[in-house]
């Protein structure tokens, strides 16, 4: 792999950019791999990357039915934060956030991590108490956050109306090192690094069946033939129920559409990510100048990648109340992704009823921020067959044992 650098840009500029090579190979599938990962979203690719980097397992295929990052990884609003309440969540999300800090250098691929700061608005007294409690919990967990005053919120976000008629801003939970990153670049950067380690990223290859013998997976059937494996990892987000059915087990997951929209680009006006969970809307400004807006989830199971129209209305109404100046912006695009919501709204990194099959799912509406940490923890689980400290609390057995991670980390509201 030729490394990207300022020098490389100068060299290519001097020869009409004829020397760039493809970022990743598109090989024919082999007949057998040590590990097959179903799903080339961020979580699948990161799992593969850390399998190679941390555990030396490189005979790996990542199988994707569509294109790289065409699932939720390329459809999300890219909010990154780690200000969670419960210890297991704070641990894995903070690991993830800290890996994001140096991911561009690590992958030699600019993922445009922008730790511009993130505020979660407190607009009811209940929220004030809740976020103060989170700030204290974060202090104990070593996650740097603070509870800030309305005046400080206004200072950070001048375009916000903090004295709105329904829900005036009473404060905010501020994480200065939260922010955003370029979603596609995260998938592309990991894919390039995986390909460079000799792994096969197989796009346009759909897994149609899982083959097993006596409780052990032997391989998968795909639209490009049967491929064998020693271990299987299912990382397909909204399609988890569907693929688990192929493998013969059920999950505590329901899939719904979550939508987002972006406005026409405007001059820089907001350099912080703002989430307003009571009125339900969140917004950031992309480097291109578009206002990136996250909507709500549908109330009922579906796989439409579109979402119900009335949720857009609710979201836009909430945001206009919070940021009156956006009321005349035109919206450019709207889209949806299928998110996987678990029974306790926390993710699953787990063994399964099949001995050599593992699952990573349930990140729901908030797993972009978790990609590096989840991949790190999942690679350990797949390599060793047992979860390490980051994944231990997220096993499937918690639903039977009633050991929930009671946090709406993946709920239909916040990201």
Ligand X SMILES: Cc1cc2nc3c(=O)[nH]c(=O)nc-3n(C[C@H](O)[C@H](O)[C@H](O)COP(=O)(O)OP(=O)(O)OC[C@H]3O[C@@H](n4cnc5c(N)ncnc54)[C@H](O)[C@@H]3O)c2cc1C
Q: Does 179 bind ligand X (CB under 6 A)?
A: no
* Residue 47 neighbours by CB under 8 Å, 6+ apart: 37, 233, 235, 360, 374, 375, 378, 379, 382
- Residue 48 CB, shortest distance to ligand X, in Å, is 11
Which long-range CB contacts under 8 A does 402-406 form with residues at least 24 apart? Answer: 404/343, 404/344, 404/346, 405/86, 405/88, 405/89, 405/344, 405/346, 406/86, 406/344
Residues 379/242, Cβ–Cβ less than 8 Å: no
Q: Does 335 bind another protein (CB under 8 A)?
A: no
Which residue, 149 or 304, has its beta carbon nearer to another protein?
Answer: 304
Alpha-carbon span 309 to 272, nearest angstrom? 27
Q: Does 35 bind ligand X (CB under 6 A)?
A: no
Which residue, 125 or 400, has its beta carbon nearer to another protein?
Answer: 400
Alpha-carbon span 7 to 16, nearest angstrom? 14
- Kindly report the backbone phi and psi dihedral angles of residue 131, in degrees, each rounded to the nearest multiple of 5, phi listed first: -75, -30
Which residue, 242 or 384, has its beta carbon nearer to another protein?
Answer: 242
Interacting residue with another protein among 239, 345, 369, 415 (CB under 8 A): 239
Q: Does 303 bind another protein (CB under 8 A)?
A: yes
The two tokens of residue 107 are: 């992958």
Q: Which of residues 259-278 bind ligand X (CB under 6 A)?
A: 259-260
Interacting residue with another protein among 242, 317, 333, 384 (CB under 8 A): 242
Beta bridge partners of 35: 60, 231
For residue 300, the partner it binds in another protein, ligand X, none, with Cβ less than 5 to 8 A by kind, is: another protein
- Residue 363 CB, shortest distance to another protein, in Å, is 15
Only one residue has tokens 């197989």, namely: 202
Q: Does 354 bind another protein (CB under 8 A)?
A: no
- Residue 215 CB, shortest distance to another protein, in Å, is 17
Which residue, 157 or 312, has its beta carbon nearer to ligand X?
Answer: 312
- Kindly report the backbone phi and psi dihedral angles of residue 54, in degrees, each rounded to the nearest multiple of 5, phi listed first: -95, -25
Binding mask 327-356 for ligand X (x = CB under 6 A): ----------x-x-----------------
Q: Which residues bind ligand X (CB under 6 A)?
A: 38-44, 63-66, 70-73, 75-79, 206-207, 235-237, 239, 243, 258-260, 294, 337, 339, 363, 365-369, 415
């Amino acid at each position: 792999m030729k490394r990207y650098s300022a020098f490389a840009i100068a060299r290519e500029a001097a020869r009409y950019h004829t020397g760039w090579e493809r970022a990743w190979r598109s090989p024919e599938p082999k007949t057998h791999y040590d590990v097959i990962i179903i799903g080339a979203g961020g979580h699948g690719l990161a799992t593969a990357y850390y399998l190679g980097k941390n555990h030396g397992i490189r005979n790996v295929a990542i199988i994707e039915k569509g294109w790289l990052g065409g699932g939720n990884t390329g459809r999300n609003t890219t909010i990154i934060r780690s200000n969670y309440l419960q210890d297991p969540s704070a641990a894995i999300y903070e690991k993830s956030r800290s890996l994001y800090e140096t991911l561009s250098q690590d992958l030699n691929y600019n993922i445009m991590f922008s730790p511009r700061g993130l505020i979660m608005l407190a607009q009811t007294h209940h929220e004030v108490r809740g976020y103060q409690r989170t700030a204290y919990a974060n202090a104990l967990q070593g996650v740097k956050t603070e509870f800030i005053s309305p005046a400080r919120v206004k200072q950070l976000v001048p375009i916000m109306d903090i004295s709105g008629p329904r829900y005036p801003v009473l404060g905010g939970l501020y994480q200065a090192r939260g922010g955003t990153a370029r979603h596609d670049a995260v998938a592309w950067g990991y894919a390039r690094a995986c390909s460079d380690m000799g792994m096969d990223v197989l796009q346009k290859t759909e897994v149609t069946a899982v083959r097993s013998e006596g409780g052990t997976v032997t391989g998968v059937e795909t639209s490009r033939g049967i491929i064998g494996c020693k271990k299987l990892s299912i990382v397909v987000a909204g399609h988890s129920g569907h693929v688990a059915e192929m493998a013969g087990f059920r999950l505590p997951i329901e899939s719904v559409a979550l939508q987002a929209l972006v406005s026409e680009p405007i001059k820089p006006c907001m350099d912080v990510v703002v989430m307003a969970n009571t009125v339900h809307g969140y917004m950031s400004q992309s480097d291109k100048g578009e206002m990136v807006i996250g909507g709500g989830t549908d109330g009922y199971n579906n796989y439409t990648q579109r979402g119900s129209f009335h949720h857009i209305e609710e979201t836009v109404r909430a945001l206009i109340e919070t940021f009156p100046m956006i009321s005349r912006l035109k919206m450019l695009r709207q889209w949806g992704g299928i998110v996987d919501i678990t029974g306790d709204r926390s993710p699953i990194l787990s063994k399964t009823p099949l001995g050599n099959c593992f699952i990573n799912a349930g990140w729901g509406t908030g797993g972009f921020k978790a990609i590096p940490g989840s991949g790190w923890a999942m690679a350990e689980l797949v390599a060793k067959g047992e979860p390490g400290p980051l994944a231990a609390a997220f096993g499937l057995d918690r639903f039977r044992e009633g050991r929930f991670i009671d946090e709406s980390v993946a709920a239909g509201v916040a990201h």
